[in-house]
Amino acid sequence: MDGVKCKRCKENDATVKSRKEPFCNKCFIKFVSLKQRKLMMTDEFYRDHFKVLYGKDLVNDGISKIVLPFDYSSSSFSALDVLVSLLKEQRVQHRGRIGFKIELVTIFKNEKELESFKESWELLKISDVYGADVWSQLNAHFIDAESFFNDTDGLEQIVLHNEDFNSMGMDYVVPAESTQYKIESLLASCPNRNTRNDMWIFIVTHLVKKFTYQQQDSQIILWAHSMTKLADHIIGLIVKGRGAQIAASLDSGKFDHDYDDRFKNLYPLKNTLLSELDAYCIITGLDKYIVNYSVRRDLMIEQEEVDTKTNDPNKNVRLVKNMTINELARKYFDDIEGEYSNIIATVLRTGDKLKPPAIENKDCSKCSICLNTIYSNPSEWLRNIAINKGHPVETDEERELYKLWQESQVGIQTGKYLKLKEKTWSEGHEILLCYGCIINLNGINTREIIWPKHEEEELQSILSEYELSD
């Protein structure tokens, strides 16, 4: 590939090859940037929040607040860089005026992870990547995941029936020896990485949206999800039995009804591959600030030459044991991004064309865990395809074996669950769950979960948040 010229400018040597087209650094940055900017100007609502307004068009003193969930990946750094470049252009073209400010929101699991994020952020601030005038337009917020259970008066214990798949709930009182229910306890109760991953996604999504809800004047969440991530999200939802949720999860046109129509969810990187965002960060030097993620150099021409020479048959081999559904989908998409990236685009285009199921009753119920719409009764459907009732104990041998089972760890745990179920069904209230959440809950040994009530009081409860400022 020595001496290959950029196909766009036809002047500079190509450094990146994406979608079978060679780019120089400058043209590739423009290529990625324009894809994001185009989707940021999708309609009048988004245009008015990103551009500089004058006169009668002014809203919130002309400065919008854009919430950017920031996980220190190549996607979030790429999205931030494009936003910063737009702010710089606005300052020059509008004599110091800008159209928006950026609120970066990072959710962290523990103090170690927080320190890694803060260290990366401070290194970026003292670097010469952005000018001093940019930092006044950026606010970095670090939210402890434990804030998910902040409102101890607004928690409920949801219990799934082991035979008919119905669920009931009771108000949960945090034990006296503990001041708060912990994320660690929730994730430890999950039987596998797939369920833990689902729960973590729910937690992060809710905390970001709750933060935006509390901002009052923020009307856009800019999710930095690449085309690759959204494609594995779509496949993951289908495999998990959540296919009916795809249309709503990708909808950027409507306000988020679950959060009082306060904001819209925008996905401006949905036409950009993850490998392209990795290459973008390598070219701009942002890759050195990435945390908990290793960028891939697959699109870099220098790497292509190395791969051709070594011809390593194990290049795309990764361990698949115990991978989550989303990780398996991501592995597949990562492996085909080079020659068959059109498949990823097709998955996303298909997802974008989907609409919510057509139903006569417009007032559908919501799942108490994931907040997604329930279009049909999943408990009834599961009862029709599953037999969960055991055979009664009849012989002396069976009674002896049953006694041994009762004294085992599984038997003791089952006994505790049956007592909890009996209490919940006598004192609790009905809880509605979607198919995916029923399956998750059924996999937990105790078939119960502690979860916040999604109500006004819970949304208004203060988040445990850190903000870095000079």
Counting as low any pLDDT under 70, the low residues of the chain are 1-2, 56-62, 176-179, 304-321, 360-363, 467-470
Contacts of 408 (CB under 8 A, 6+ apart): none
The sign one gets for the Cα dihedral 408, 409, 414, 417 is positive
CB burial of residue 463 (10 Å; 0-12, 13-18, 19+): middle
**Residue 296: φ, ψ to 5°:** -100, 140
Which distant-in-sequence residues (6+ apart) come within 8 Å of 390 by Cβ? none
Domains in the chain: boundaries: 16-151+192-362
Would you state the structure tokens that stand for residue 167, as one six-digit string?
A: 């669920």
Structure tokens at 444: 């937990």
**What one-letter code names the amino acid at 32?**
V
Rounded CA separation 82/40 (Å):
11
CB 195 within 8 A of CB 444: yes
Token pair 């020059």 is found at 92
pLDDT tens profile 73-123: 999 999 999 999 999 999 999 998 999 999 999 999 999 999 999 999 999
Q: Which CATH superfamily is domain 16-151+192-362 in?
A: HUPs (3.40.50.620)
pLDDT at 1: 45
Exposed/middle/buried for 282, CB within 10 Å: 0-12, 13-18, 19+? buried
For residue 111 the two structure tokens come to 């103090």
Strands of 371-424 (E only): list them: 373-374
What the block records as the tokens of 375 is: 């279009």
Q: Output the pLDDT for position 361.
A: 60
Alpha carbon 94 to its chain centroid, in Å, reads 35
The per-residue pLDDT for 311 is 54
H/E element, 68? strand 64-69
Tokens for 169? 């709930």
pLDDT value at residue 313:
46
Which residue is it, tokens 């690449």?
A: 226
| Joined tokens for residue 436 | 């995916």
- Residue 264's DSSP bridge partners are 220, 255
Q: Token pair of 294, please?
A: 């290793």
Contacts of 268 (CB under 8 A, 6+ apart): 35, 36, 37, 39, 40, 79, 222
User: Which pLDDT value is given to residue 327?
Assistant: 86
Residue 63 per-residue DSSP state: -
Which residues, 6+ apart, have CB-to-CB distance to 300 below 8 Å?
A: 15, 16, 279, 282
Return the C-alpha torsion angle 318, 324, 325, 327, nearest 10: -40
CA-CA distance, 15 to 63, in Å (whole number)?
Answer: 37
Bridge partners, 144 (sequence order) = 108
Category of 55 on φ-ψ map: left (φ > 0), alpha (ψ -120 to 50) or beta: left
